[in-house]
Amino acid sequence: MRLIRQHAFGAPDVLRFEEVPDLSPAPGQVRIAVAAAGVHMIDTTIRSGGPGPFPRPDLPMTPGREVAGVVDALGSDVDSGWLGQRVVAHLGMASGGYAEQAVTAAEALLPIPEGITEPEAVALVGTGRTAISILDLAQLSQTDVVLVTGAAGGLGSIFVQAIKHAGAKVIAAAGGAAKLATVDADEKADYTAADWAENVTLKPTVVLDGVGGQIGRAALKLLKPTGRIVMYSKPVDLKGEDLFGITAIGALGRPFDQKVLATRALQEAAQGRWKITLTAFPLAKAAQAHEAIETRATVGKTVLIP
């Protein structure tokens, strides 16, 4: 089978397209013929060897923690009913997703509901479950006006839809007119413009911030008194006076039942409440996918197609 392997830490060109023997599932495991693999910003941090939430992996390694496809081989002690099933799985710390085949524990599998494609399922099992956890923290109501930074990204595009479905108003902030054209919002703001925040006319009661830095700080300053900001990327540099009258919530690092949240995300899409936006690359072009993510050139969830 073919896969992406990384033999050194560094720039995207350390990701090599190689061929290795087929995988064999161990007891309690299945093998998945991968139809789509998810790509995350955290994958680029791991690839570069930079500091992050996970320890440096041993090399060589194959990146990727989300896969979807068809179960084509079973280890011992696995229910034969899984064979031939369309499934999606989060591989956890194991990695190995950027490949034509992946092995994982049978207990990690989730069936893909009818009407959802494998690339969409990959987005839902990782990004979708994170979206659910953040929305649970945000506690949105119909009276809210919600500013979403990174609104055209994998999480942001889901948030925009969830906010509209909740009956609240949404301000979509993203980098450039092309990205903003992909989202449906009550107001749109292009934060490549220096004065973008000054031109926002709606007054947000909630900020969902996935960008941080100066953009996140500008979004914070737009909040109404008693408003709240939920941060799920680089933290905003908060000062003591910033917190008078508002609530700041850090969404990352909180414990949650990942499989339960992924199941909820799959159901949101299956019932038509979420439509997943994708940017797809061939598996062999994983390096280009990393470059696109790092330069924020992608829209929606980025996936690799073997």
Instruction: Tell me if 192 is assigned to some domain.
Output: yes
Specify whether 178 is located in the same domain as 229: yes
Q: What percent of the chain lies above the pLDDT cut of 90?
A: 72
What CATH number should be reported for the domain holding residue 291? Answer: 3.90.180.10
Helix (H) or strand (E) holding 213: helix 213-221
Specify whether 12 is located in the same domain as 101: yes
**Whole-number mean pLDDT of the chain?**
92
Alpha-carbon gap, residue 131 to 186, rounded angstroms:
20
Q: Which of 113, 101, 95 is nearest to 30 (CA)?
A: 101
pLDDT at 56: 86
Alpha-carbon gap, residue 109 to 101, rounded angstroms:
15
DSSP 96-148: --SBSEEEEEGGGEEEPPTT--HHHHHHIIIIIHHHHHHHHHH---TT-EEEE
- The letter for the amino acid at 258 is Q
Instruction: Tell me if 37 is assigned to some domain.
Output: yes
Residue 25 per-residue DSSP state: P
Residue 84 lies in domain: 2-111+276-305
Q: How far is CA 290 from CA 6, 13, 34, 83, 296, in A?
A: 13, 9, 19, 33, 10
Q: Which of 209, 235, 250 is the last residue of a domain?
A: 250
Specify whether 133 is located in the same domain as 245: yes
Specify whether 29 is located in the same domain as 76: yes
Instruction: Tell me if 258 is assigned to some domain.
Output: no
Indicate whether 19 pLDDT > 70. Answer: yes
Specify whether 102 is located in the same domain as 150: no
Position 162 confidence tier, pLDDT thresholds 50, 70, 90: very high
Q: Indicate the number of domains in the chain.
A: 2
pTM of the model: 0.85
Q: Which of 198, 192, 155 is nearest to 174 (CA)?
A: 192
Specify whether 227 is located in the same domain as 296: no
Specify whether 169 is located in the same domain as 78: no
Specify whether 219 is located in the same domain as 288: no
Position 51 confidence tier, pLDDT thresholds 50, 70, 90: confident
Specify whether 6 is located in the same domain as 53: yes
Instruction: Tell me if 210 is assigned to some domain.
Output: yes
* Residue 267, Cβ density class (10 Å: 0-12 exposed, 13-18 middle, ≥19 buried): middle
Specify whether 160 is located in the same domain as 237: yes
Specify whether 20 is located in the same domain as 51: yes
Q: How far is CA 58 from CA 47, 55, 152, 292, in A?
A: 11, 9, 34, 25
What CATH number should be reported for the domain holding residue 226? Answer: 3.40.50.720
Q: Which of 145, 139, 142, 164 is nearest to 203 (CA)?
A: 145
Alpha-carbon gap, residue 242 to 286, rounded angstroms:
40
Position 264 confidence tier, pLDDT thresholds 50, 70, 90: very high
Specify whether 180 is located in the same domain as 280: no
The stretch 255-281 carries a mean pLDDT of 89
Instruction: Tell me if 265 is assigned to some domain.
Output: no
Position 300 confidence tier, pLDDT thresholds 50, 70, 90: confident
Instruction: Tell me if 120 is assigned to some domain.
Output: no
pLDDT at 67: 97
Position 240 confidence tier, pLDDT thresholds 50, 70, 90: low
